[in-house]
Amino acid sequence: MSDDRLDQLDYYELLRIEPSASGDDVRRAFHDFAMRYHPDRYAGAPPDKAERASQIYRRGAEAYRVLSNLEQRKRYDQLMAAGTLRYVDPTATEERAAKKPEGALEVKSLRARPFLQKGIDAEKRGDLQQAKLNFGMALQHEADNAALKQRYDDVVAKLKK
């Protein structure tokens, strides 16, 4: 088991509700949760704190999606009784794998995503200067992303030709 406290919480604990909570209770609890952990609240925070808040928020959004869907909630309750704390929908996992091209570039930071997409779009258009600028901006938000760094370096190399 992970040492991370987040990995030890079930969805009910995360949203601070009882398993008998109604749909309205789930909605209210998620609203309160979002007010505490939404990434926009941590815009000026140190990167590690902002990333942690984003990680917590993503898990809370996952909890809300599952607990607000009656079928998924019923399945989650069964999984939880067997000791599983996170809901995994096998059909969604298969669909996601089918949609994602092999070697696709991913970023975790919500702030890096728009720059990544703009960089990809600019590169497709052949605007390498704009691609370099946007990949560079994405790297400022996610400096430890080796694949993103490689993409940036590739564009810089193309510009030098």
Q: Are 54 and 111 in contact (CB under 8 A)?
A: no
How many domains does the structure of the chain reveal?
2
Q: Which of 99, 132, 149 is the last residue of a domain?
A: 99
pLDDT of 40-68, one tens digit each? 999 889 989 999 999 999 999 999 999 99
Nearest-angstrom CA–CA distance, 27 and 25: 5
The two tokens of residue 133 are 């600028």
Regarding whether 63 and 19 lie in a shared domain, the answer is yes
- Domain extent, residue 117, equals 112-160
pLDDT of 147-161, one tens digit each? 899 999 999 999 998
- Global model pTM greater than 0.75: no
Regarding whether 61 and 123 lie in a shared domain, the answer is no
Regarding whether 144 and 83 lie in a shared domain, the answer is no
Regarding whether 150 and 82 lie in a shared domain, the answer is no
- Domain assignment present for residue 104? The answer is no
